[in-house]
Every structure is written in structure tokens, then in C-alpha cells.
Structure 1
């Protein structure tokens, strides 16, 4: 893609001269530079005006460079999306307690997605005698980190410049240590703005952030290897594993050796070729028939950091302690807490290894005498066919998917986000960068920002940045597009617009049936019509190319031609694609089960 300007070319400060640090925030900014993190996404605020000045006038707005966002949620979501592609943390900054309150949902998404992220916050002077009247009292909290403590790995409020240096290094280190997650540092404005009595010196991050990799007990590895070798029908649940090509190839090799079946998860991105004969069903948040059958028939299940082992076994087999041998590799227990049950139910296992799942795959291959695999040779995109039309003047989600895929197939598209109505069977993955996964915590409004952050990370690669988002998700996160447009971050966003918060229509229909009440009223309080919302105009208001609404295949196909050309030239394009409301049967069945468990009726 031809991009005339990149983020680094923009917002260059004037009159910058090299000088020793003069204020506390200069030292903090210098410490951020030592992390080698290129960007800090932020929404500005007075609580960290000192650090803001230091990034601009001391660092020259580079390493890290500011990415201005129109909402704190977007700042964190962009850092989240960046980490999904790179596996590395990005910086984000939010203003005081009020900014952190705005950002909390995005922090929770990143927590549930187990991605690294370093969030900087700030507070008015902790010393009450130094506060400005009124506003500093509102924007100063005694324990600000409490707002996110239950869904961050660590938080701190350093009380000196030297302590802030250490805090930043520790936080960045912890965010990357498996299991990965967001961290939060709250900087006292007084510390930022105080003049330095002396320079505390620089710290070498390499000495304070040693690499860590959870080990594996060799006896457990041998026991698992023997159990798997003796299995007649092994199944591998591929969960939170790496996106590295060598690890992808190792997983392929292990499946071949064991003659195993594979199940993957929709929320976690591409980890195995989904159209391979060994892949059971399609990647789903809820088990489809093929995945369920494979697990039911299995005699040994190898769970590689699967996000919900107990729930999956119960769904497939009717009980969490299913009558089959289970090997579980995970380090997730290190961050389980009583506030958030995102860790899901406690699974029954026969062999548990608290270690790295990709390391186990590598050790198993060595145990079986398998050499290093070569390179990915089957990453050519899977052929796409046009599904039958239900109505020539309307589109199904399957038609939207096929049309977008056909138009982008030659550009190596990377799916940056997908809507709830997405059916993974409609789009096969053959490379770890074909799909980066979903939002993590189900927090609506995160999709646009995550997509922008992921697109930022893809700049300079041969991948085409593509996001499919729901209409409700887009409406809550649309202003994240301004950051993409302003900083020349190319991305194509197609909105699957059914003009409803349709997820809740399904729920209301189930409740109405269970209570013998009129199902035809399910739309009330859900539909976004009268007037119709001009989503393309919202995109145009952010500076993007806004197209639509596309109401059928022909209209969408034509708009995609214009949108792709715009993105190829370095722009941001958004298409409002009208789709028939509806979910795949697997999702509907799973949602119905949730309601049935509440109502006691099917």
C-alpha cells in the first residue's frame, strides 16, 4: 500500500534542543524512551500535563510518539489491537480518575484477551495543600488504581521520580510475563512538575526486565507424550498459543504425528489452518457440531491454554469431568482473582503442566524424534464461492463475508475484528496473520479502536488491514477512526449493519417464549431505525471515505472496489453494508442454552 505520510512524519515539534532533564517528567519520559515502544495513544488531560510537555519538548515527540485519540477507551483499545499483532505492549495514557473511568471497559477487554499493555494515568497533587481549588479535588483519588486493580496484573502510584523509573520498568516487564495483561501506573502531578535537584540517572531495561519462560517438568512431558502416543482418537484444543510461524508449523507437525483432530477458538485468532482435514468444525465461541463430535469421540484431550476447558468439556460431554484423559497446559491460574470470573470454571485434568504451550509442542516433537519443520507452504488463500442469495435486494452475513473475501483475497487480508454474527466457517485461515482474534471481554465499542491499533502494527507489512464490525460496536467506537485518518493508518472497515442490537433481540425472544408472551415484540428497545442512522456520514465526519448503505451484492462489490483503492493509497475507508439480522445456528443454540439455564425451560 502506498502511504505518502506515516505517523512519524506528523506533528513534529519546533525548537527542540538537547538538554539534560530538568523536571521529574523529563526523567519519566526518558524512561519511556528506553522501553523502545514507538507509540503512546492518549487523550490529553491536565493531570499529566508535565509528562505531555516532556514527551513533546524533551523527547521531540518520538519514541514514543503521541497518537491523539478522541476518547480514553479508544486509546486503550488501540494499544490492545497493536499488542494482538505484535505480541508486545504499547503505551496508553488517560487523564486522572475521570479518564480512567472512561477507559475501564477497554482495560477489561485487554485483561480478558491476555494481551500486554502499559497504561499511564495521573492524579492531581496527592499533597492536598498543593491542589488548585475545586478541579484538583475532583480529579484526585486516594487509591485510583482500585478502579482497575481487579483486571490488571499490577498497579502502582510511585512517590518519587526514582520510584517512577522503577515502576515503569517493573510494569512493562510484568505486562509481558505470561500470562500477559494490562498494567497501570498512576503518576502524581506534583512529581511530574517538580524541578529536579539532581538527575537520578538512567536505568538499563535489559537488566531490570529479564526474559521469563515458564518451565515444564520433564517427567510430566514424558507422561503426556506416552499418553498421547497410545491414544486412538486424540483431540488438541488450540487456545492461547503464539502467532509465530515456526510455532504454527510445530503444531501442524504434532497433529500429523498424533493423527489428532484440532479444535480452535473464534476469539483467539488464527492458530491452525481451519480448512485442513484435521480441523474439526469451525472456530466458534460456542462449540459447533463438528467440534463437539470430535471431543465426544476423543479418548485423550490435549488442552493448550484453552480459555474455557471445563465449560467446553461440559458442553460437549454433559459434564466437566468427562470420561476421557485430559492433559492441560496453562499458566492462567497465576492471575485468577475473586472479582472477575473470566477464568471460567475449574476443569478436571489428569496431567497439568504450568508452562508454555508452544514449548510443550516443541518438546513433544523432540520426544517423538521429529525434526524442525520447514516453512508454511499452504498459505495460499482458500477458494471462495458466492453463497445462494435469500433476497436479491438484501444480504446475509454469509454473502457479505464472501463478497469482501473475494474482493480482498489477492491482498493477503488480515481480519482485525469480526462481529457477533460472524460465522467462521465462511472464511478459512491458512496463516497466523489471517485473523488476529476478537475483543477479549465482549465489551461493545472496542472493535473500531482494536482494529485501528492492529492496522497500525501492520503498517509496513504485506498484509491488508480489514475489519468487520457490528453496527452497535461501530456507533460506540466510531471516533477511533479519526486517529487512523489523522495518523495515516490505512484500514478498511465494513459494518455489518442489521440496524439493531440484535443480540438482545435473540435474548428477548427466548424470554418471551419461556413466559408465553408475544415474541413479535422482541424488537422494541433494540432497533435503530426511524430515523435510520447514516453510518457512512459518521465515517466521513472523521475524515474517512464513507460509502453506503450497500443493500445487495452488486452494490457492496462496487463500493469495495472504491474502498480498496482508497486503502491501497493509504486511506481509511468505511462501508455501511446492510445485512439480514440473524446468527449462525451454533451461536443461537448456545445463547438459547444460556437463557434456558435461567428460565428453566427450553
Structure 2
């Protein structure tokens, strides 16, 4: 199993990683720190439990090896490794030389069987050359084993995507709008454009429904630090001259910390489409409050305190219009989302004016 994180910083490395996975018949679990691997490729098994069955896990340019390979029980703070006992672990990157007593931002250190200090962009072509020579000398038995592994991983990929599709269909007509329906409507509205997603993924539903086929399609996961709107402005500015449609699936809690960023986009005429994932809450913390209340036996009915963004609910569309944007909403009818997003896309692509659609959605 290959687990990449920052490989996608280099567009050429994105393609080399695809070649490596295909020649080995290896699965890929993308951390999403950058877009490292096409999400619809049959060897992409992100979202599955395939890592627990792997006999070898190869991290490529991964700073935090624990997060994608561990299961956390947040109420008890217990951690279970998902790497099976006896599996070999390879780490290719700069983790060893990033250790510093001054700054402990090098994340958890995990034991490895092989530590390779290298720039992934430079190492992947050489690794491909070596692997190609070794594979060329294999007999039919090993070649057949790789082929079976490719087939098994492809079947797992298909089952995973089918399960996501079934979940999305089950909630498609609900109001407030489900995050899967929101992602679906936005994806259909931008499909015929050369688009870029900034940071947020609507609780991963964009990654489960859109076609991330090129390395620039996604700048990487949001940080959960009230910085997504700032990141999105930077991504939109970077792609402005390329004429790409930049899309920000923007959490409401994040935007509450920096509403002034909307004025910056209007002032500098940074074309971008913002679709609010507006669950009217700091839901990540609210969800944790619920878990802890159950653990401690405290009143669950009090977990909303300090967590809701409601009563009154901010009118993000009104704020955006006041700061020079085209804006519509709030919208809680799932059948109205697509039309509003298409109108906003037309404004952005025709005039370069930033546009916002405020969608009132479910927490996840």
C-alpha cells in the first residue's frame, strides 16, 4: 500500500506515482494533504480498510505517518494502529532531517523497516526505473499475482464508490441540504469548466463525487484553523491568469473569523465561486461535546452552548453583497441549489466578479 501526502506538489510526481502503483499493482490511500493520485483510478482505495490487510506500507513524502494509519477513540484518547502486525514499513521523504528540538512540528515518529531520505519528485523516476527492471525479470507466477491484486483492488474501489453513491441517494431529498447533495449539485454545475477546488471538501463528499484527474484540481485539505477563506483567496489568485474556475466549499464557522476577506476578493477582482457549507454551527466541536457528554454522563441537551451559529443565523449572502459580491441565499431547498450555483458560475466566468451561494446544509 502506498500512502502519499505532499507528492502532488510536483505535477510530474503525480503522474509518476500513478505509474508506480500500476506497475506494482499497489493500492493507494491518499492522505489529501495535496492531491496525489486520481480519485477515480481503480487502484485508489482511499476510504477503505485495505491498509489493514497490506503486507507492506510505503509512505511517500508524509510528515504525519500516524494520522492516516491509526484509529483514534477521542473520548478515551486511545489509539489503535491499522498497520497489521508483521507488515513492513517504508518511509521515503525528509522526516529524519526535519526533527528539531526547537520546533516539535515533526509529528509522531513511527518505527520503519526502511528509511529513505530523498526528494520524492527526484526519487520516483529512479524508483520506477529500478522497479521496471525487476518486474521485467519476473516469471508468470509473480506477474499473475500482481494482476490478481490489481483486480482485487479495483473491485474494492468499485464497492467503496457504490456505497458512497447509495448513501448520497438516501439523503438527496432532505432539507437542510445534505452535504452529499450539495457536493453533487456543485460538481454538476462546474463539470464543463476547467475547475480547481481550494481546500474544503464538504466532509469529503467532493472527493467521493467529482473527478480529480489532474494534480492542480485540489490544493489540499483545509486545516480546521479558521484559515480556509484566506487559503482560498491565495488559490484563486494563483489560478486567475490561467482562467480556471476556482471553487471554495466554505464552512460557515471558518468564514465567521474573517468576513473581511470577502472585501479583499472584491477589491482585487479575484474571480472565485464560494458555496457555503452552512450548518450554522461549529459542528466539529459540537460533535465532540456530544461524545464527551455521553462518556461523562452530563446533559447532552447542553452541548449546543457556544457551538451554534444561529439565533440569529448570519446572512452570508447579504454580507457578501454588501462587500461587492454577487450572492444568493440562504437556500435550504435541495432542488434550488443547482440553479443558484449555475447562475453564480456564469457571473464568475463572464465578469470575473466573485460570487457566493449560501446553502444551509446538514452537519456531515
User: Into which bin does the TM-score normalised by the smaller protein fall?
Assistant: 0.7 to 0.9
Q: Could you say which residue in structure 1 is the equivalent of 2:12? A: 246
Q: Over residues 424-458 of structure 1, what are the superposed CA-to-partner deviations in whole Å (9 max), with x where a residue is unaligned?
A: 32334111111111344x312x1111111111110
Q: Could you say which residue in structure 2 is the equivalent of 1:265? A: 31
Q: 1:330 aligns with which of 93, 96, 100?
A: 93
5+ residue gaps, structure 1: 1-234, 283-289, 371-381, 583-602
User: Displacement, 1:314?
Assistant: 4.1
Q: Could you say which residue in structure 2 is the equivalent of 1:301? A: 57
Question: Is the 8 Å Cα contact of residues 317 and 328 (structure 2) preserved in structure 1?
Answer: yes
Q: Could you say which residue in structure 2 is the equivalent of 1:256? A: 22
Q: Over residues 231-286 of structure 1, what are the superposed CA-to-partner deviations in whole Å (9 max), with x where a residue is unaligned?
A: xxxx11111114444322211111111110101012x131111121111134xxxx
2-structure distance, mates of 1:419, 1:313? 21
Q: Could you say which residue in structure 1 is the equivalent of 2:229? A: 448
Cα distance change on mapping 1:312 and 1:491 into 2, 3 Å = closer
Alignment of 1:441-520 (within 5 A): 442-444=224-226, 446-520=227-301
User: Displacement, 1:520?
Assistant: 2.3
Q: 2:331 aligns with which of 525, 550, 554?
A: 550
1-structure distance, mates of 2:228, 2:283? 17
2-structure distance, mates of 1:362, 1:538? 49
User: Displacement, 1:554?
Assistant: 2.2
Q: Could you say which residue in structure 2 is the equivalent of 1:374? A: none
5+ residue gaps, structure 2: 72-78, 134-160
Question: Is the 8 Å Cα contact of residues 66 and 110 (structure 2) preserved in structure 1?
Answer: yes
Q: Could you say which residue in structure 2 is the equivalent of 1:230? A: none
Q: How many equivalent pairs are there?
A: 324
Question: Is the 8 Å Cα contact of residues 13 and 120 (structure 2) preserved in structure 1?
Answer: no
Cα distance change on mapping 1:538 and 1:336 into 2, 3 Å = farther
Alignment of 1:283-294 (within 5 A): 290=48, 293-294=49-50
- TM-score (normalizing by structure 2): 0.82
Alignment of 1:188-199 (within 5 A): none
After the TM superposition, which of the residue ranges 339-348 and 397-406 deviates more from structure 2? 339-348
2-structure distance, mates of 1:432, 1:296? 27
Alignment of 1:146-157 (within 5 A): none
Q: Over residues 492-543 of structure 1, what are the superposed CA-to-partner deviations in whole Å (9 max), with x where a residue is unaligned?
A: 0111001111111111101110111221221122112211211111112221
Q: Secondary structure at the match of 1:249?
A: helix
Q: Secondary structure at the match of 2:248?
A: strand
Cα distance change on mapping 1:392 and 1:329 into 2, 3 Å = closer
Question: Is the 8 Å Cα contact of residues 301 and 327 (structure 1) preserved in structure 2?
Answer: yes
Cα distance change on mapping 1:395 and 1:311 into 2, 3 Å = closer
> Does 1:573 find its partner at 2:355?
yes
Q: Could you say which residue in structure 2 is the equivalent of 1:404? A: 186
Give RMSD over aligned pairs. Answer: 2.4
- TM-score (normalizing by structure 1): 0.51
Query: Highest CA radius of gyration, 1 or 2?
Result: 1
User: Displacement, 1:391?
Assistant: 4.6
1-structure distance, mates of 2:70, 2:187? 35
Cα distance change on mapping 1:563 and 1:314 into 2, 3 Å = closer
2-structure distance, mates of 1:494, 1:403? 11
Question: Is the 8 Å Cα contact of residues 549 and 578 (structure 1) preserved in structure 2?
Answer: yes
2-structure distance, mates of 1:413, 1:513? 42
Question: Is the 8 Å Cα contact of residues 397 and 421 (structure 1) preserved in structure 2?
Answer: yes
Q: Secondary structure at the match of 1:488?
A: coil
2-structure distance, mates of 1:536, 1:452? 18
